[in-house]
Structure 1
Amino acid sequence: MNLQSSDMVINIKAFGAKGDGETNDTKALQNALSFASSMPNITILFDEGIFLIDNFRGISSNTIIIGSQNTVIKPFSIPSQTIQISNVDNVKIYNLIFDGFAIIRGRSITNCIFNKCSFFNTKNHGLLIEDHSDKIQIRNCKFLNTGTLVTNVNAEGFGICINESTNITIKENELSNINGMSAIFIMNNSSGNILDNKIHDVVYRGIQFYNGTQTWYVKRNQIKRCGLNNTSGSGIGCNAIFTNLINSYIYCEENKIIDVVENGIEGYFKTICNNCIVNTGLNQSTNPTPSTEGIYAQAEIIDGNTIINAKTRAIAKIGTSISNMHITNNTIKGGDYGIYLNANGTTGNISNVLVANNNISNTLKEAIAIFITNKDSINNIKIENNNIFNTSSKMTSITRRGVEYIGVNGKNIVNNGSFSKWGVVPTGWTAANSIVTKVEEGNRYIPRITGNYYIGRIYQDIEPLYEKAIYSVIVKFKSNVQLRTEFIPYKADGSLDSANTISFRSYSFDANNYTREKYTFTNESYQKYRLQIGIYGTGTDEAVVSYIELTSYNKD
């Protein structure tokens, strides 16, 4: 700390403090604070030692208090003593260890800094900032064993509690063994940044937002082992980051979450991006909870996250309404489900949802599952270009209850969704005896296939997943000729068994308008098939087909 910014520097021992761990130093501190109140820009120094104090009140604006590396402040005779700083501006506190107080409170303070301080063994919160405080920095501090006498974990014992305060920076702190519901608890119309903190071995959750309209950036925090030392018999509340605020602006990005009893991230967010979440839903035999997902949230953007070994679902949202979500570019490994959206109830609806470019592997059940009870309430859902592989059980990729199955299924890397996104021929498909060009149509590019009738075609091989499977294809196209969709079985020697082809023809076609058709058959013999979509001409030498949707899948 540079002391040149202060007009005067005084040592607490000059006012009679001993710091010997036995003497009551309250009077010496009060004399020093009283002297400082009459002087602008004063610095009070604490040497190493244990200073026993029952009253810390009376700090004035423009005061700096600095301890050494081992300056400990403890209560002398009142174990429930609160240290309170109220109605001041520009107070800075450095290098003090507060040990055993009830709570350290900043009330209606502005432009204040707590840096390299420690808050140990508090009976309630470690540090409480409240009552319209503004521009507060809490940096490089340690919070250990807070809430030693809590009777209500939902309201007491937090490491850091921010209440109705704005422009708060909580950065590079370490919080552990927090006995209240959250290591960092934010409430009532507050705002700020929670950055680069280390939170570990907490009884319940890492970070929580509660009540009011709030704006916070939560970035690059490391949150580990939430709820593993919980002895309540329930894992509810033992997640890493939680908010129940629907109309707030919480941006959750680049956090690392490891080993939690409940889910990793839960609630309502603007963005959930580039987080790494490993091992959710631990200790279910002793602390069960119904929510063990990696991400269980409604967010406009869920992008670039890595989720490994979620107990049940990696990314999930369940509710009567699911809308305005982009779930893209996530890497998911393990768990029962990869991406799981469930609009429940008779009025449930899903709208404006994009699930694209995700890599999903090793799920025990479905890679992508979309359930909806009310089949008339689906609007603008796109599921495209997802890579699904190495699943070990049933692999129905995308389902809609009460409507129809859509999507792609396979043990290899698969593709699905809007054909136009692929540019020319989609991954997994091959063009034969055709010329494929990319043409502009409106504000998009689509593939156009030109070839002789009966010959020009695109195809892909379908590996069987079950002994009895339903193979389906959806084609949306415009063409000057009919199309023929064929399921051609393979023989044992690897050649095509054309004599047993199952064939469908599109009797409705239009060169100027798009037609959407679906074809399905049941494979009863656990047999590999080639799915082929060919030009079925009627005498023309050249047939032209433009696709905007091409989806294939199979299910049991």
Structure 2
Amino acid sequence: MRFLILLLIQVTLASGAFSRTQQEALNVRTFGALGDGTRSDVEAFQRAIDEAAKTGRVLSVPRGRYYIPAAASLSIPAGVTLEGDGKFSSIIFTDSTYREDQPSLIHIGGEDIIIRGIGFNGGRPVEPGQRSKRLAGRYNLINISFDTKASARVLIEHCSFSDAHGRGIIFRGTQITIQDCDFLRLGRYNIDFKAVDGAISNFGRNESADIRILRNTFAYIGTHAVSTYRINRLDIESNKLSEISGIGLANHQCQNLNIRANRIEYTGDNGVDVQRCSQTNISDNYFFAAGNKHAGDAGSAAAIFYGDDYAQGTAVNAVISNNFIRGAFSFRNKNPEAHTQNCGIYIIDAFHVKVLANTVNSIGDIANPEKITGIEDGTGIMIVNSKKGRSEDVLVEGNSVSVTKSDGILVNGQGRDIRVLNNSVSSAGGDGIRFSSVATNLFGMIRNNTIADGCNWLRRKISADIFIETSNGWITQLNVSGNQLRNNKRLTYNNLKDTVYTTHGIYFSGTGYAKMNNLIVADNQITGHLLDEIGFADNVSGFEVTKGKTFPTIGFRNNYSGGTDDQPSSIVPGYHQKRKPWIITESYGTSVPEYGNYSQGSVIHDLTNPGERWVALNSGFAARNVWEPERRVGLGRTIYMGNQSWRCIQAGRTGKKIPEPRGAEMIDGSVIWELMGERVKFKKVST
């Protein structure tokens, strides 16, 4: 009984305290504010705010429309709490008059300020389509110490901000939280980044830290929804963004940045843009058409952009993980709607970055479906460098990339320790994985990836699951191993009537000179490509210690080909080519080969006599049969005449006399032969 009495007393006291708090709250109407939407409330409202600052009492803003004329503003000092009846009920607004020197609608200065449940309207008329470039009404709605001493401990929640031609909130301070608010039709809807219009910004100001932007909604914002600058400890979580003319979340030179669980759709440029930031986490976000250039020709237009295109080495330590990135590009159907996702993830001049477990699909500019409009267009994940920059220690692992107009994963430029591991790439319009170095890309890894069904959308002469190239440099210190590269629609070479478009599983190329050294290409399973499983451009050569004295490449081993119903076979790199680098390989057979390009020193183990093998005495193309007259010859068959090997490129019947070669081709009856070069010779040896 005593316990019940004590409990009743506590409840009564608590109820009394709550009632007194309500009774002690000030009401803006008491000070003469009308809220009728026609007469000025600025003087009465300011008197009420000043009294709330003096007494520490909450200032209640009942339902109504409180008019603040164009040249006037309200000033909120330290310790004030404004409490409205709801963001769509208690509205503070201004008219459409435009002046270049207009003040912000609200000025906040000092500490310990709360604004809750109020709507703020800048007075710009709403235009059809809600995408306005018009200069009308206020430029800015709320100014939190942007040009004065930094504020601290400011909470803005359950508010709305609309119809200003510049910005919703500008701020400078610490421990500022903006949560559960709506931002609508703010800024000039264009792609002019100089103005840095948008919903929330501290751009150009220092002294900000511990900023939280949570669970807000942004729509029809120009140019950036959120733009932040030099903030330490910034959380941007669980926001919804749609119809942004520029960048969704633009962050510059911040530290300890967390961008998580946001939904970002229909941004003209990058969905998330993080430049020159350190200790960054970008995770669990959803992107759709975040980079569709709908407001004009934007930059990279990627869902996620991270790096430092000033080449100052300040983009350091980032994790980009578990994001869903989707566009609407399709190889089959043209989509007339603005659903373009130009690029998936874009990394430039970055250090110590992990790109993990992201899902990227249907990437590419729909407005120009038949061409690539830039290096970013249609690329799923890309790591690139500026002219003076480089990237180092970048891990791309466990991502799923599918249906890209261009490359699935692109590494381009000068890099070191770039690792592409355990990714799944399917239906890439360009190459599955493309490693392209300016000179030398050191200590790279392409391992344990699955790449399937490349589409070669633009029907390039060469399109590969893994394409490796250099420009006047070395392909060196690179490990390409454990990958599964296949075309599911061609599981055997016996079926040539198929829909396979990729020419190679792995292809090495270059401009100028391209030399291979310290290269491992091992333990790959490669099946079903048009020209060769592993191939080389003519200008790719081996390592030279002394000019003119090439050292053989010996790191190609244990690569296998064959579908479910095929007998597995060891892959001989450049098997169908006339020329290739000096590559020593091991393979298996039951006789001297009658076809294929073999390098000097290559070994073929005799399956019928273990312990015996054939060794290539020179580099050349295999041909076991000598030319014979009046014989039926099938496409691809090889013969030798003297020391030269020839391959049939037009089937038919040979002539009665030995034909006379004419350059690289030879007409023989109804057969046409192609010169493959010197015939390789083998010697049988025992172990």
User: Given the two structures, how large is their TM-score scaled by the length of structure 1?
Assistant: 0.70
The 1:74–1:198 alpha-carbon spacing in structure 2 relative to 1, beyond 3 Å, is farther
CA distance in 2 between partners of 1:89 and 1:523 (Å): 84
8 Å contact 1:469–1:523 — kept in the other structure? no
The 1:84–1:22 alpha-carbon spacing in structure 2 relative to 1, beyond 3 Å, is closer
Q: C-alpha displacement at 1:152, in angstroms?
A: 3.0
Question: 1:175 aligned to 2:241?
Answer: yes
The one-letter code of the counterpart of 2:357 is: N
8 Å contact 2:465–2:502 — kept in the other structure? no
| Runs of 5+ unmatched residues, structure 1 | 430-457, 477-484, 489-495, 508-516, 528-534, 539-556
- SS at structure 2 position matched to 1:29: helix
CA distances 1:65-106 after superposition (whole Å, capped 9, x unpaired): 343152433224655552455543333333433333423333
CA distance in 2 between partners of 1:119 and 1:257 (Å): 28
Question: 1:224 aligned to 2:288?
Answer: yes
Match of 2:303 in 1: 240
Aligned-CA RMSD value: 4.3
CA distance in 1 between partners of 2:601 and 2:191 (Å): 72
CA distance in 2 between partners of 1:290 and 1:45 (Å): 55
CA distances 1:119-173 after superposition (whole Å, capped 9, x unpaired): 333312333334xx33333333333333237683344222112123322222222
CA distances 1:203-254 after superposition (whole Å, capped 9, x unpaired): 32222234x554432222222223546253x353422222442422343222
CA distances 1:2-47 after superposition (whole Å, capped 9, x unpaired): x97989643433333333333333223322321222244x433333
Match of 2:405 in 1: 311
8 Å contact 1:281–1:310 — kept in the other structure? yes
Match of 1:94 in 2: 116
CA distances 1:495-542 after superposition (whole Å, capped 9, x unpaired): x666748887679xxxxxxxxx99976579658xxxxxxx9654xxxx
The 1:461–1:323 alpha-carbon spacing in structure 2 relative to 1, beyond 3 Å, is closer
The 1:228–1:388 alpha-carbon spacing in structure 2 relative to 1, beyond 3 Å, is same
Question: 1:186 aligned to 2:251?
Answer: yes
Match of 2:418 in 1: 325
Question: 1:109 aligned to 2:194?
Answer: no
8 Å contact 2:73–2:103 — kept in the other structure? no
Range that drifts further, 51-60 or 497-506: 497-506
8 Å contact 1:19–1:51 — kept in the other structure? yes
Write the mapping of 1:386-535 to structure 2, written as runs, cut at 5 A. 386-390=483-487, 392-401=501-510, 402-404=514-516, 407=521, 410-411=526-527, 460=569, 485-486=586-587, 488=589, 500=594, 522=621
8 Å contact 1:398–1:406 — kept in the other structure? no
CA distance in 2 between partners of 1:13 and 1:474 (Å): 88
- SS at structure 2 position matched to 1:91: strand
8 Å contact 1:134–1:168 — kept in the other structure? no
Write the mapping of 1:279-428 to structure 2, written as runs, cut at 5 A. 279-285=362-368, 288-292=373-377, 293-297=379-383, 298=391, 300-319=394-413, 321-335=414-428, 336-344=430-438, 348-363=439-454, 364=456, 365-376=463-474, 378-390=475-487, 392-401=501-510, 402-404=514-516, 407=521, 410-411=526-527
Q: C-alpha displacement at 1:113, in angstroms?
A: 3.2
8 Å contact 1:315–1:338 — kept in the other structure? yes
8 Å contact 2:87–2:159 — kept in the other structure? no
- SS at structure 1 position matched to 2:441: strand
Match of 1:141 in 2: 181
Question: 1:266 aligned to 2:346?
Answer: yes
Match of 1:118 among 146, 160, 177: 160
Match of 1:75 in 2: 94
The 1:187–1:228 alpha-carbon spacing in structure 2 relative to 1, beyond 3 Å, is closer
| Runs of 5+ unmatched residues, structure 2 | 1-16, 123-137, 198-223, 328-339, 384-390, 457-462, 488-499, 535-553, 604-615, 624-634, 638-683
Overall identity of the aligned pairs, in %: 18
8 Å contact 1:201–1:228 — kept in the other structure? yes
Match of 1:195 among 245, 260, 265: 260
CA distances 1:166-204 after superposition (whole Å, capped 9, x unpaired): 22222222222223x312222244543222222222232
8 Å contact 1:255–1:276 — kept in the other structure? yes
The 1:252–1:134 alpha-carbon spacing in structure 2 relative to 1, beyond 3 Å, is farther
Range that drifts further, 332-341 or 265-274: 265-274
Match of 2:77 among 20, 43, 60: 60
CA distance in 2 between partners of 1:284 and 1:518 (Å): 56
Match of 2:43 in 1: 27
The one-letter code of the counterpart of 1:317 is: V
CA distance in 2 between partners of 1:342 and 1:374 (Å): 12
CA distance in 2 between partners of 1:16 and 1:506 (Å): 97
The one-letter code of the counterpart of 1:137 is: T
CA distance in 1 between partners of 2:83 and 2:480 (Å): 58
- SS at structure 1 position matched to 2:46: helix
CA distance in 2 between partners of 1:324 and 1:145 (Å): 45
Count residues with an aligned counterpart: 462
The 1:44–1:523 alpha-carbon spacing in structure 2 relative to 1, beyond 3 Å, is farther
- SS at structure 2 position matched to 1:373: strand
8 Å contact 2:481–2:520 — kept in the other structure? no
